[in-house]
Every structure is written in structure tokens, then in C-alpha cells.
Amino acid sequence: MPPRNNRKRRPGGRNRNRSFGPKRKADPSDEEKAVEVEGEISSVLAGTMFRVKLASGHEVLAHISGKMRKRFIRLVVGDRVKMEMSPYDLTKARIVFRLS
């Protein structure tokens, strides 16, 4: 009598659900912290992009974070905003909060 298990196996005998290595938990000390700064929107650009002027006089290109976009928070010229900037590229930022 033939075997009842007629399932065909994938070549190589690999299991799709196998994890590769131990899982690491994200440790805040390992990753680089985002720099939080405040600024004022100086111009509105296409595609939810903004020019934001910092207190130091520099202007950065910023986009809205996903949560602000999801909640339909509107930003206009003159609004004060809180932003996160990567320590690697200080010309771009992500707007995370509208202050006024």
C-alpha cells in the first residue's frame, strides 16, 4: 500500500517559517537618537513638503509624519512645529507635532 502523505516538498527542503538567528530587541542606546528641534514653516511645497526655518536661521526641507497625515492635521505658513532630524543629514526633517 502506498504512503498516504502525497504532499510534495519544496526543493532544498527549506521551511518557510523558520527564523534565521536570534531575535534582538531594539535598545535605545544602540540606535542613533533623532535630534528634536523646533521651527516655523516658511513655505508650503508640493506633496506635503515644507520649508521650515529654525531658530538658528537655517532652513530645512521637512515632510509630515505618517500619524499627522493620518489625522489630517493641516499646516500653514507661520505655524510653529516640532521636528525630528537625523544626525546624519541635517538638511531634512520629519514634522511630528504642530505647536501653534
For the chain, domain boundaries: 37-98
Q: What share of the chain is helix, strand, coil (3-state, %, to 5)?
A: 5, 35, 60
Of the CATH numbers 2.40.50.140, 3.20.20.80, 3.40.630.10, 2.60.40.10, which one belongs to the domain with range 37-98?
A: 2.40.50.140
* pLDDT at site 29: 57
Q: Beta partners for 3?
A: none
Q: What is the pTM of this model?
A: 0.68
Which residues of the chain register pLDDT less than 70?
1-3, 6-21, 23-31
Give how far Cα 12 sits from Cα of 8, 9, 15, 16, 75, Å: 12, 9, 9, 11, 54
* pLDDT at site 61: 97
* pLDDT at site 21: 66
* pLDDT at site 33: 87
* pLDDT at site 100: 80
